[in-house]
Amino acid sequence: MKAEHEFFAVDGVEWTDAGGGITQRILSEGPDNDLTRIARWAPGTVSGEEVIRHEYFEEVYLLEGSLTDLTLGKTFGAGEYAARHPGMPHGPYSTAEGCTMLEIRYPVG
């Protein structure tokens, strides 16, 4: 289970390197891929060449910029949302201009 937090200023949370051109502000986390974060993708970031599948439920809301799904050949922008069940194929992704997203992960079970 994630830690409990009352309202706090998110801009006080340090950006950390998540690798591959992505920085993150972890707002809350727990065991088993239980995570809430703001992820910022630098312009030109590519998530890799493989379709992505993971064992947790994931919600993503694009706050700024755009993200292109290379498999679908479709670009998504600020204000768009995705909800993915465990094992759901998605991506890989790229962003020409960069993007910022709110990502929430829940463990299965």
Closest CA to 99 of 38, 30, 18: 38
So what's the pLDDT on residue 5?
A: 86
- CA angle 39/42/47 to nearest 5° reads 75
Ranges assigned E (strand) in the chain? 16-19, 22-30, 34-41, 56-69, 74-77, 81-84, 93-94, 99-107
So what's the pLDDT on residue 58?
A: 95
pLDDT (tens place) for every residue of the chain, 109 residues total? 787 889 999 999 999 999 999 999 999 998 877 999 999 999 999 998 899 999 999 999 999 999 999 999 999 999 999 999 999 999 999 999 999 999 999 988 7
Q: Which residues contact 14 (CB under 8 A, 6 or more apart)?
A: 25
- CA angle 10/43/24 to nearest 5° reads 25
So what's the pLDDT on residue 31?
A: 80
Query: Looking at domain 24-99, which CATH architecture does it have?
Result: Sandwich (2.60)
Domain ranges (residues) in the chain: 24-99
So what's the pLDDT on residue 33?
A: 76
